Chain A
Amino acid sequence: MTAFQGIRPASKRQRGWRQWRRRDATTAYVFTLPTILLLAAFSLGPALYAFFLSGVSWNLLNRMHWVGAANYVTLFHLPLFWTAVKNSVVFAAVVMPVQTVIAMGFAVLMNQHLPARPLYRLAFFFPSISSSAVTSLMFMWIFNKLGLLNGFLGGIGIAGPNWIGNPHFALSAIMILNIWSTSGYFMVVFLAGLQAIPQSMYEAAAIDGASGFKRFLKITVPLLRPSTFFIVVMGLIGTLQMFDQSFIISGGTGGPLNSTLTIALLIYQQIFSYGQVGLGAAATVFLFVLVLGSTILVNRWLGKPIEY
């Protein structure tokens, strides 16, 4: 707003304009002040505090003292930490692409003139507005050794595993739950993106003799890129931070045998269960760097504007 200052003496009229602008900005800040304060106190402040905590030794009950980078050294030598990182990265690497593809597929289907379309939309969207605590409990029952899924598998002659009790399957079970519960929300985002694609493009392509699949591949997918970008970023952040479903399904332990221990769950355990606040905060900073780094990478890949 002060970009023109000093280039030439301001005329009376311009001074008035500037004053008006300044008043305008003040008003804007006054109106956003409550939100700014809330964000600073409960979001930005604690986030910065986490950086500070990563340099202290504190167990919540004693006096904290500064230890510098020692927490990071301990953390990077902790095998459990790398297990958590591996679980989180594998989780994100499987869930994010799958939920994106499923969401896109369903969005395209839902965009057709199918009978009972609102009903399907509701059915697909419903999981994402349900509490994740509730859906986790539901899936614990479905994944029970003698539960719904294994009953169904048994019906077609497959002996189902002990999904939640077996370290080889526990994380997969949570992946399935997570894909199921988030695809619906992203489907709606894709649907909005689909509405924004001009119908004339499809008509032109149809006249040129492009098949339905080709139209999908050459028009729908590229033109959905802004939506895809949003979904990939949100999906990546959400999956790398996954906590609630692991916490509930493993009863807070990250078990069996740490197979469902994610970075976020490790942070919780270190800070609240084991009284290693500094170590947990260091893992928090690591998670922040991981999320920031992957978001920047995705931005390079998908964040470009669409060129027709």
Chain B
Amino acid sequence: MRRIRPVTMLAATALSAGALAGCGVASTTSPPGASGKPVTIVVASWAGTNVTNGIIKQQLAAFNKAHPHIHAVYRPISGNYQTILKTEFAAGDAPDIITLNNGGQAPLFESQGAVIPLNRYITQSHYSLSGFFSGAINMFKAGNTVYGLPRDQSPLVLYYNPAMFKKAGISGPPTTWAQLQSDAQKLTQASKKIYGIAQTPQEPRWAQFIYQAGGSVMNASMTKMTLNTPAALKGFSYFVHLYRAGIAVQPSQVGATWGGQALGMGHAAMTFEGAWAIPYLQDTYPNTPFAIATLPSGPVSNQSLDFPTAWAITKDSAHPSQAWQVIQYLSGTGEARWVEQGGLVTVRKSLVNMPYYQSHPIYKNILAQLPHAVPWNFPNGFSQYVSSTLSNVSLLAVEGRVSPAAALQQLQRQGVSILKSGSGQ
């Protein structure tokens, strides 16, 4: 379950399956090379997306065929991924390889020494990091220490319903803020419960407006909060105004849990989501037409947010060098196979021209957005800030109970105090 997207998975499965996952069989590994028995490497990721449900398993099967002395096993973690992982670390029984997520999860595991630095292995095997998109690899680095090899990513893009646009007499998707607003106005039919935009007012869905206005949430080295700038206020005010004007709604107001669902149900003409919404919309709402465009430009840029994930080796792994071979494969040859099977967006620059993307033009604008996307990350100590403070305060602003300026001030102040207390946790 990725934190960066609304809970598309049912929390019920989370509850029940979480209990089951806790009973998972521990990895019984034999000493390396002993009696020729293959070494078992457990690979873990969250369950519930097409990438994590099927594709990883196929990649590992291909890996095992080529590497008879290593047996890599996939263990999807159902339920609250980060929570279950933490308990496994506390028990000293974490999988060999885990997936690091964006939104502040990677720095948490890195700063606590739960995942090991990969520099030694990278040097030993002359592994090149230059093939990765810099945003994706930088998110999993602390200084010069590399903690993860990127697995997948997706920037936020504009999803829209072309049939609704045509009916409203709009020729194409908006390319500027002004157009976004006027199009949303034309597309809104409140009496029919149809709105221009349906979007949860949570931070990874509004911070892009701040970047588009030339502002940022934090500085690049994540040591200073920068929500108190005029540019940040401009971006956030624009976002809040969409709701106050009644042309954007929260998905729950049209009976949906996230923007993608509202679009699929036909209650929204536009929403901002990543590539994960493609298989969802195709499978769940095959009768709702949708198209993807790059984000409309603000005063400065059409910057988006990017959500990369990465493979990392845990401190509990008894066979880190074998685990390294597995993630080397997954982020090299495996990465190409992975694009062919229709995962999220590749993290390797060279794979952008894969035949798969040529034959699946729906990805075109997502790939076009990639160079203009900021990786979504927070330093250690921001768990609560990211999971509740940010969305609570923006909800207050969207509902008109505090002004955008007051909301940003509050967020700035709380962020500063977390930074001051030195990672809190």
Least Cβ distance of A39 to chain B in Å? 20
Among A59, A146, A254: residue with most chain B CB under 10 A: A59
Taking a contact as CB atoms closer than 8 A, the residue among A60, A137, A257 that contacts B87 in the complex is: A60
Query: With A147-B255, A164-B252, A248-B11 given, is the CB distance from A61 to B392 under 8 Å?
Result: no
Least Cβ distance of B317 to chain A in Å? 15
The tally of CB-CB contacts under 8 A between chains A and B is 88
Residues of A within 8 A of B168 (CB): none
Least Cβ distance of B314 to chain A in Å? 11
Cross-chain contact B11 with A60 (CB below 8 angstroms):
no
Q: Which of A43-51, A193-201, A207-215, A272-280 contacts B (4 or more CB under 8 A)?
A: A272-280
Among B1-35, those with CB < 8 Å from A are: 6-7, 10-12, 14-16
Contact with B along A241-275 (1 / 0, CB 8 A): 00010011001111111100000000001001111
Q: In the complex the two chains form, what is the Cα distance from A165 to B252 in whole Å?
A: 6
Among B246-273, those with CB < 8 Å from A are: 250, 252-255, 257
Residues of B within 8 A of A244 (CB): 15
Cross-chain contact A257 with B193 (CB below 8 angstroms):
no
Residues of A within 8 A of B383 (CB): 273-275
B61 within 8 A of A: no
Interface residues on chain B, number (Cβ under 8 Å): 36
Contact with A along B378-410 (1 / 0, CB 8 A): 000001100110011001100000000000000
Cross-chain contact B392 with A257 (CB below 8 angstroms):
yes
Among A253, A256, A274: residue with most chain B CB under 10 A: A274
Cross-chain contact A257 with B250 (CB below 8 angstroms):
no
Taking a contact as CB atoms closer than 8 A, the residue among B12, B86, B109, B112 that contacts A272 in the complex is: B86
Which residue from chain A places its CB closest to the CB of B86 in the assembled complex?
A60
Least Cβ distance of B203 to chain A in Å? 13
Which residue from chain A places its CB closest to the CB of B252 in the assembled complex?
A165
Q: In the complex the two chains form, what is the Cα distance from A146 to B198 in whole Å?
A: 15
Among B90, B113, B396: residue with most chain A CB under 10 A: B90
B276 within 8 A of A: no
Cross-chain contact B253 with A255 (CB below 8 angstroms):
no
Q: In the complex the two chains form, what is the Cα distance from A275 to B385 in whole Å?
A: 13
Nearest first, the 9 closest Cβ-Cβ pairs linking A and B are A165-B252, A146-B255, A61-B112, A133-B12, A272-B83, A251-B7, A60-B86, A248-B11, A60-B90
B residues contacting A by CB (< 8 A) are 6-7, 10-12, 14-16, 80, 82-83, 86-87, 89-90, 108-109, 112-114, 193, 250, 252-255, 257, 383-384, 387-388, 391-392, 395-396, 425
Could you pull out 19 A-B pairs where Cβ atoms are within 8 angstroms? Answer: A60-B90, A137-B10, A144-B255, A145-B253, A146-B255, A147-B255, A162-B253, A248-B11, A248-B15, A251-B257, A253-B387, A253-B391, A255-B391, A258-B388, A272-B83, A272-B86, A272-B87, A273-B82, A275-B108
A residues contacting B by CB (< 8 A) are 59-62, 131, 133-134, 136-137, 144-147, 162, 164-165, 244, 247-248, 251-258, 269, 272-276
